[in-house]
């Protein structure tokens, strides 16, 4: 009786695990803010179908259990009326469970007891525990389902296809928005507080993971000193953010950030020059000497005439 109760408890845990695994695509889809409505609907319908299938399996299993219990009870009563001892036979489910797990009952553990001991601890020549085998069988079933759904039938898109679909959606949204044209060849730094604050938000959201929030550098170089690897003018900084440095692991931010966001980030980096926060990374690159401010020729002529 205890053995049967433990088996039923293990079965319930296994079914709950499968229920969670099969419902996870719908939960994952709901947690993605950038996913399209079509994909969300597809994930939801897929999760619903799996839940219905699991529900049918569970109901079928318990109906069979009830039928077996009623059949066993009827056979027991008939044996009692006939005055013969009742010998219960294993159900098909018990036979299947034993073949799948090959577990040894507690009362028969003496048969698999090994002859040696370690500090008085005896060892059983037992098979892997049933819960481990059920978990392994579950992963095999899940792998087969995944292979059929994603690679054979193509019912759901692969991760690369999802990414490309989201990129296309973002590009469509950007195409419908007004684009600010910025000429990086004539770009000049402007210490406008509004642009610098916007640039700080862009920097913290996208650049701080490599350069720290204060620009002191971690994986990436220090952006607060006078030494630069790719030039320290606002135009150089804009070009570096836009094109990236793939050979050193910095991606091109042009497909991700808008031109004005790149400009604002460059302005913020220019604004933190010379701050040298504590624990900053050692200087890298060459010393950048700012270009002298250009003087308007007309102003020089006017001053000379005066």
Q: Where are the domains of the chain?
A: 2-115+125-161, 193-287
183 vs 174: CA distance, rounded Å: 19
What pLDDT sits at residue 306?
46
Task: Give 60's contacts (C-beta < 8 A, 6+ positions apart).
Answer: none
What pLDDT sits at residue 28?
44
Q: What letter does residue 229 receive in the DSSP assignment?
A: S
161 vs 101: CA distance, rounded Å: 40
What pLDDT sits at residue 301?
43
198 vs 257: CA distance, rounded Å: 13
Instruction: Return per-residue pLDDT of the chain as tens, 306 residues.
Output: 444 444 455 555 555 555 555 444 444 444 444 445 666 777 788 888 888 988 898 898 888 878 878 888 888 888 888 888 877 777 777 777 777 777 777 778 788 888 877 888 888 887 777 778 888 999 999 999 999 988 998 888 888 998 898 888 888 887 777 777 788 888 899 889 999 999 999 999 999 999 999 999 988 999 999 999 998 899 999 999 999 998 888 999 988 888 899 999 999 999 999 898 999 999 998 888 877 655 554 544 444 444
Place of tokens 């999760």: 47
Helical axes 92-101 vs 37-82, angle rounded to 10°? 120
Helix (H) or strand (E) holding 11: helix 2-30
Q: What is the pTM of this model?
A: 0.45
What pLDDT sits at residue 37?
65
What pLDDT sits at residue 3?
42
Asked if residues 62 and 83 have their Cβ atoms less than 8 Å apart, the reply is no
What pLDDT sits at residue 14?
53
State the greatest distance between any 2 C-alpha atoms of the chain, in Å, as a whole number. Answer: 135
Give the CATH number of domain 193-287; options: 2.40.128.110, 1.10.760.10, 1.10.1240.10, 1.25.60.10.
1.10.760.10
């Amino acid at each position: 009786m205890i053995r049967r109760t433990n088996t039923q408890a293990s079965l319930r845990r296994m079914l709950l695990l499968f229920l969670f695994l099969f419902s996870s695509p719908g939960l994952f889809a709901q947690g993605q803010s950038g996913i399209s409505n079509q994909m969300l609907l597809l994930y939801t319908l897929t999760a619903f179908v799996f839940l219905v299938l699991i529900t049918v399996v569970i109901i079928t299993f318990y109906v069979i259990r009830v039928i077996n219990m009623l059949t066993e009870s009827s056979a027991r009563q008939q044996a009692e009326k006939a005055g013969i001892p009742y010998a219960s036979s294993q159900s098909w489910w018990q036979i299947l469970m034993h073949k799948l797990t090959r577990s040894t009952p507690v009362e028969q553990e003496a048969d698999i007891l090994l002859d040696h001991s370690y500090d008085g601890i005896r060892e059983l020549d037992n098979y892997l525990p049933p819960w481990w085998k059920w978990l392994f069988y579950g992963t095999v079933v899940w792998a087969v389902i995944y292979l059929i759904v994603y690679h054979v039938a193509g019912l759901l898109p692969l991760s690369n296809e999802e990414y490309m679909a989201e990129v296309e959606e973002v590009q469509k949204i950007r195409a419908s928005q007004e684009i600010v044209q910025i000429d990086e060849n004539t770009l000049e730094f402007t210490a406008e507080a509004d642009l610098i604050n916007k640039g700080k938000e862009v920097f913290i959201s996208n650049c701080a993971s490599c350069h720290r929030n204060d620009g002191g550098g971690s994986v990436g170089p220090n952006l607060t000193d006078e030494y630069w690897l790719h030039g320290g003018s606002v135009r150089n900084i804009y070009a570096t953010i836009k094109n990236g440095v793939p050979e050193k692991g910095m991606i091109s931010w042009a497909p991700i950030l808008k031109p004005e966001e790149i400009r604002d980030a460059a302005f913020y980096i220019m604004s933190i020059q010379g701050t040298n926060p504590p624990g900053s990374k050692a200087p890298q690159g060459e010393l950048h000497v700012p270009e002298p401010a250009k003087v308007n020729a007309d102003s020089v002529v006017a001053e000379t005439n005066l």
